[in-house]
Amino acid sequence: MTNFEPHQEPSEPPIAATNALTDSDDKHEGWAYPTEIKSELPEAPKFNSTALLPKSMEEFVLDEADRMPCAPDYIAAALIVALGSVIGAKCALKPKRKDDWIVTPNLFGGIVGDPSSKKSPALSTVTRFLDRLEAHEAEKLTIALKAYEAELAAFEAQQGAVKSTMKSAAKGTKDGLKMSNAIAAMQDLEPPEKPIVRRFKSNDSTIEKLGDMLVNNPEGMLVYRDELIGLLASWEKEGREADKAFYLEGWNGTAGFNIDRIGRGSLFIKNLCLSVFGGIQPELLQRYLTSISNSLDNDGRIQRFQVMVYPNAVPWEWRDRYPIKGAREAVRDMFSRLASFDPIQDGATPANDFVKLPHFYFSDDAQTIFIEWCEDLHKIYIAKEEDPMMQQHFGKFEKLFCSIALILHLAEGSIGPVSAFCAIRAAAWCEYLGEHARRIYGLVEVAKVATARRISKRLIQGKLKDGFTARDLQRKQWSGVTNVNDAEGALAILEEHHHVFSFEDTPPSGRPTVRYYINPRLLDSSK
């Protein structure tokens, strides 16, 4: 550490004593040779369809992906989230035998890829099953409305007759008994309940609209966004804090929620259960992740997107063949069954005063698998994880495991406790999605490295002079350096690769300042 007088630039940079490499030229004394700054994304995990999916789902996923062509990961991830959204808060899994903790199968997720990666077609091939369910519900609504109108007409006629009796009883010599009977008759009249169409998905992200829909759809629904970044970015806007809280609570899937609406009073959602899915480009996701990684407001919102996949792009080929017979139909029937099944009839334990939803348990073997998996999760994966974002991500894996196990159990039409086979597949999903998460969060490091490389080039060009500070760098407002945190992160990478050397300038009075010197070997390397 070297002290300097205030407002006085040192004539020479300090000599780096550690790992010093001597050179005949004095200006190089103590400077290590700069190393190349590079970073690559972790490899995308292989999609093992047999380990992850039952036969009926596997055939559909592989067939659809092959005919597009696109990464099968896209379709599998969308399928799992969509199936979970249909089940929603209809039932839950109770992972512990004695505790009241329950997990609903709603999930957040997305698919990451360039515009040419067939994200939208992959999403559409799954969401069409939800569209079909909604079309069927619309047809039922048309029939129900006709019956409602007839019942309403009958109610209004009865109501009119009773009112007429009341008027008669009130005229002339008042008939108290007649009036009492009429009042009793009026109280017994109940208007018919207007039928409401059941919804399975929405593209609307406003909480007021979603709140209205969820009041009439207590089992939950899917928020689908072809471009997911629009939803994520909306959560960061000033004044939209309530929106973010709404979605975060919706991820839990088991609690009620109040929405205060200006001029329309309050809205109470008995059970706020949301699933979220969409597509996003790597560059846009990288920017978003970088912004929240540098923020003190990292509340785990992105870590809730547990079913997010970023596979390698599939090369384009012209393909035109018929679908495998029965593959789509099997998945179609799967959605139809889940939309109307009764969990109690399928072996769920009824809700009670302390467990608000009908719930399934693990079988004995599945329970053992889950307990052992939880021990590894907490004692190995979370305890030894160095990346704070990944650590937060792993912290939400228990819900992921339970949700997927229940989805696979019910999608196959199984009855009774969730089987060990479903638990094994859920564990495989967690491992697979954990690798995708590491690849996705790796976008942040890649961005930092890219920024550091750009700064290194500008240092060679003489854009900054010896003795500069992180704030000096930040004031340049170069790409990737919009604040001091960005600058300090980039400079840390540069110093790690011996492009710069930092020291603390401590004046006789005032605060110490960290200054950076450019490695003369770096400057020579450009010649």
CATH number for the domain that contains residue 62: 3.40.50
* pLDDT the model gives residue 38: 84
Higher pLDDT, 316 or 204: 316
Q: Does 3 score more than 60 pLDDT?
A: no
pLDDT for position 6: 35
pLDDT at 482: 84
Query: Would you state the pLDDT for residue 20?
Result: 40
Whole-number pLDDT of residue 5: 35
In a domain, 342, yes or no: yes
- Residue 85 is predicted with a pLDDT of 98
pLDDT exceeds cutoff 80 at 50: yes
Burial class (CB in 10 A: 0-12, 13-18, 19+), 353: exposed
Task: Render pLDDT for 239-285 as a digit per residue (tens, 0 to 9).
Answer: 777 888 899 999 999 888 887 665 566 778 888 999 999 999 999 99
Q: Is the pLDDT of residue 29 over 80?
A: no
Comparing 472 with 300, the larger pLDDT belongs to: 472
* Residue 210 identity: L
Low-confidence winner among 8-17, 139-148, 157-166, 252-261 (lowest mean pLDDT) = 8-17
In tens, the pLDDT along 337-354 reads 999 999 999 999 999 999
Q: Please, what's the largest Cα pairwise distance for the chain? A: 125
Greatest mean pLDDT among 4-18, 263-277, 488-502: 488-502
Q: Which of 264, 261, 262 is nearest to 246 (CA)?
A: 261
Classify 513 as helix, strand or coil.
strand
Residue 275 domain-assigned? yes
Tell me if 431 is assigned to some domain. yes
Note the pLDDT of residue 4: 31
With contact defined as beta carbons under 8 Å apart, do 163 and 179 qualify?
A: no
> Rounded CA gap, 471 and 512, in Å?
14
- Evaluate if residue 423 carries a pLDDT over 50: yes
Residue 293, domain member (yes or no): yes
Q: Kindly list the distances between the CA atom of residue 240 and the CA atoms of 231, 235, 243, 412, in Å, as whole numbers in the listed order.
A: 11, 6, 5, 40
Q: Which amino acid is at 471?
A: R
Strand partners, 92: 359
CB burial string 180-208: b at 16+ within 10 A, e below: eebeeeeeeeeeeeeeebbbbbbeebebb
* H-run or E-run covering 255: strand 255-261
Whole-number pLDDT of residue 24: 44
Q: Say whether pLDDT at 408 is over 60.
A: yes
Give domain status of residue 459, yes or no: no
pLDDT at 26: 59
- The strand order across the sheet containing 201-202 reads 201-202, 221-227, 274-280, 109-112, 307-309
pTM: 0.86
More confident residue, 12 or 260: 260
Lowest mean pLDDT among 44-58, 159-173, 380-394, 456-470: 159-173
Structure tokens at 22: 């001597």
- Asked if residue 64 is part of any domain, the answer here is yes
Give the separation between CA 309 and CA 77, rounded to whole angstroms: 7
Is 454:480 a contact under the CB 8 Å cutoff? yes
176 φ, ψ to 5°?
A: -65, -40
The proportion of the chain whose per-residue pLDDT surpasses 90, expressed as a percent, equals 64
Cβ–Cβ contacts within 10 Å for residue 136, how many?
14
Among 226, 228, 235, smallest CA distance to 206 is for: 235
Work out the mean pLDDT of the chain and round it to a whole number: 89
Query: DSSP label at 300?
Result: S
In a domain, 496, yes or no: no
Please give the Cα distance from 435 to 43 (Å, whole number).
8
Q: How would residue 14 be classed by pLDDT, with cut points 50, 70 and 90?
A: low
The reply to whether 490 falls in a domain is no
Does pLDDT of 8 surpass 50?
no
- pLDDT band for position 219 (cuts 50, 70, 90): very high
Q: Judge whether residue 491 has pLDDT over 60.
A: yes
Partners of residue 272 on adjacent β-strands: 255
Which amino acid belongs to residue 24?
Answer: S
pLDDT for position 205:
66
Domain count, the chain: 1
The model's confidence at residue 18, banded by pLDDT at 50, 70 and 90, is very low
Domain that holds residue 267: 49-139+197-444
- Evaluate if residue 43 carries a pLDDT over 70: yes
Question: How many other C-beta atoms can be found within 10 angstroms of the C-beta atom of residue 471?
Answer: 13
pLDDT band at 506 (very low <50, low <70, confident <90, very high): confident
User: Is the pLDDT confidence value at 455 over 80?
Assistant: yes
